[in-house]
Structure 1
Amino acid sequence: MTSRFEQLAVDCLEPRRLAAFWCAVLDYTVHEDRDGELVEIGPAALAPLDELRRTPVAPQIVFARGHTTKIRKNRLHLDVCPIDSDQAAEVQRIIALGARPIDIGTAKEASWTVLADPEGNEFCVLRSLAPGHFEE
């Protein structure tokens, strides 16, 4: 028996705002919006069920209204990789979308950059996967 990673659930104060931010970062679209209380985003084309059964696919993210603000470092976070620009350009693009740089004590020589989304959730921008930046 096997399971697939299908969704990541995020409790937040403003589901629509956070969903819009992550749609812009990941090039996702909104698949469901339940009056701003729960917003589900994912790739523009959802994988058919038979594909989901055969192989892992990009997960959806569900933002659900919670009633508490974030108070400490995340125990789980997302890592994103630019696919068509270098890391520095992607960091600047994401900051322009509403992220902010944060210091969580990462070593200066780290190959990633730590940012926080509009509600303070940490995530990392890793190396670029763009042609010429990352070769197999």
Structure 2
Amino acid sequence: MTSRFTELVVDCHDPERLAAFWCAVLDFRVIDRSEGKVEIGSWEPTVEEVRARQMPPTLVFIRVPEGKAVKNRLHLDVSPIDGSTDDEVSRLLDLGATRVDVGRHPGQTWVVMADPEGNEFDVLRSLAPANQAIDPEG
């Protein structure tokens, strides 16, 4: 017996706003929405595809009444694919993200940020081809 990782659910106040933010960050699209819920992904899952192999999970934003109270125990990591880490951080700030100061770790090469509702995520090293993005931190 096996299970598949199919969705990552994020509790939030404004599912439409967070879905729009993360669609812009990840180049995803809205694949489902209902009252108080928006699901985004890079593909539209079908039962057959999910049963056949592990596919990238979708993100589901669900409206809840309570606010975020503590640091997330689970967070997303993103890696720029066509520019430097610094360029991506600038783009994400323009989209509504903020930098988060959690203290530096020795040798830290990632940038800690938060989405518009304060959910932390990390921007990792650039995966852009070497001649496309020069990033001194990784």
Normalization by structure 1: what TM-score? 0.89
Supply the distance in 2 between the matched residues of 1:108 and 1:92 (Cα, whole angstroms). 23
The superposition leaves residues 6-56 of structure 1 with CA deviations (integer Å, 9 ceiling, x where unpaired) of 100111000000000000000000111214x1011111x325443322332
1:5: Cα distance to partner?
A: 1.2
Supply the distance in 1 between the matched residues of 2:59 and 2:100 (Cα, whole angstroms). 23
Supply the distance in 1 between the matched residues of 2:129 and 2:51 (Cα, whole angstroms). 30
Supply the distance in 1 between the matched residues of 2:84 and 2:69 (Cα, whole angstroms). 32
Q: Which amino acid aligns with 2:34?
A: R
1:3 match: 3
1:120 match: 118
Q: Which amino acid aligns with 1:110?
A: Q
Q: Is 1:75–2:73 an aligned residue pair?
A: yes
Normalization by structure 2: what TM-score? 0.88
Tell me the SS of whatever aligns to 1:67: coil
Runs (5+) with no aligned partner, structure 1: none
Supply the distance in 2 between the matched residues of 1:112 and 1:10 (Cα, whole angstroms). 22
The 5-angstrom pairing of residues 1-40 of structure 1 reads 1-35=1-35, 37-40=36-39
Supply the distance in 1 between the matched residues of 2:86 and 2:52 (Cα, whole angstroms). 36
Runs (5+) with no aligned partner, structure 2: 134-138
Q: Percent identity?
A: 53
Tell me the SS of whatever aligns to 1:16: helix
Supply the distance in 2 between the matched residues of 1:125 and 1:85 (Cα, whole angstroms). 12
Tell me the SS of whatever aligns to 1:114: strand
The number of aligned residues is 131
Supply the distance in 1 between the matched residues of 2:120 and 2:67 (Cα, whole angstroms). 14
